[in-house]
Structure 1
């Protein structure tokens, strides 16, 4: 029986720091046969369909690259991956022979990223750090700090 590769999660909000985390994961963690699972957390709760209400607790189904690179399909999820992220994922999938998937959650990123670790389940998680100063971190809270201290798998924070 063939052994399944690692399930490497990368938290993405399509910002520069999440793209940096994605590049790091591709360059340092992914090998042939692994699964790259992009995890994005949306804060909106304005659901138009019953599906979205069901997905509030479990997140979306795992969305294959061919679907999450299709803008028409992504309208359903109200998520818009940017071209640079899509290109990084496409190149990694071809060059490293990995499977790329997207999972969308709705709610608090700190909680949902930790839930993703257990629900998918992930072998490890890579997350970017926005580099908030000490005062902003106290006021806003640090997603990466919370995830590092709460997640049940190894977490790498890319600065």
Structure 2
């Protein structure tokens, strides 16, 4: 099976039939009966969503698009040291941080695909840079012609309330605005203790 492919969109001024450009190269997802998107944000919740899709949702003939929206400005967290003022950094140091973050993103997105590799599910990785995660996810879902999108709940900002939880801003926005059905896979806060995954996801019943 071929390895993951990072999708790059290129716009030409010439029409698609122009002899200046060869026909599109076939990818592992070409000819799939269904193209299923899985939105990933490099969290444990996203990894679980991929595993859940393999075990419970995907069927023969499906192909998967791992869709990751990479922020245009880096937010530093525990794994990336202290937050810094961009104006206090040199252009060279900022470029190095951007390159390091790109490598980090590519490496971890590839790790998320391991469950697909083991299950022999054809897939490709689609990474886009944008400052608006919610809107760009919905735009890419439509542009890629996906039949459905799967995403983890807590990894995309779900807020837990007493006795129940509600969808966070990103997943809620996608449920309301995506042109295809959206499946939200719940990830329990008690994942460190035993079999704590909630294997019954909330599935959007919205018709496209």
Shorter-chain TM band = 0.5 to 0.7
Quote how far apart the aligned CAs of 1:120 are.
0.5
| Separation in structure 2 between the aligned mates of residue 37 and residue 83 of structure 1, nearest angstrom | 12
**Residue from 14, 23, 32 that aligns with 1:4:** 32
**Partner residue in 2 for 1:146:** 173
**Superposed structure 1 runs of 4+ greater than 3 Å apart:** none
- Pick 1 or 2: higher relative contact order, CA cutoff 8 A, min separation 6: 1
Q: Secondary structure of 1:80's match?
A: helix
TM-score (norm 1): 0.66
**Partner residue in 1 for 2:124:** 101
Q: Secondary structure of 1:103's match?
A: strand
**Residue from 12, 19, 23 that aligns with 2:51:** 23
**Partner residue in 1 for 2:141:** 117
**Partner residue in 1 for 2:184:** 157
| Separation in structure 2 between the aligned mates of residue 116 and residue 92 of structure 1, nearest angstrom | 25
**Partner residue in 2 for 1:87:** 114
Q: How many residues align?
A: 121
**Partner residue in 2 for 1:13:** 41
More helix by share: 1
| Separation in structure 1 between the aligned mates of residue 150 and residue 109 of structure 2, nearest angstrom | 19
Larger of the two Rg values belongs to structure? 2
Write the deviation string for residues 24-75 of structure 1: whole angstroms up to 9, x where unpaired. Answer: 21112212221111000100269xxxxxxxxxxxxxxxxxxxxxxxxxxx74
**Residue from 146, 150, 169 that aligns with 1:126:** 150
| Separation in structure 2 between the aligned mates of residue 9 and residue 22 of structure 1, nearest angstrom | 10
| Separation in structure 2 between the aligned mates of residue 6 and residue 82 of structure 1, nearest angstrom | 22
In structure 1, stretches of 5+ residues that fail to align are 47-73, 135-140
**Partner residue in 2 for 1:36:** 64
Write the deviation string for residues 85-117 of structure 1: whole angstroms up to 9, x where unpaired. Answer: 232121122xxxx31111111112101110111
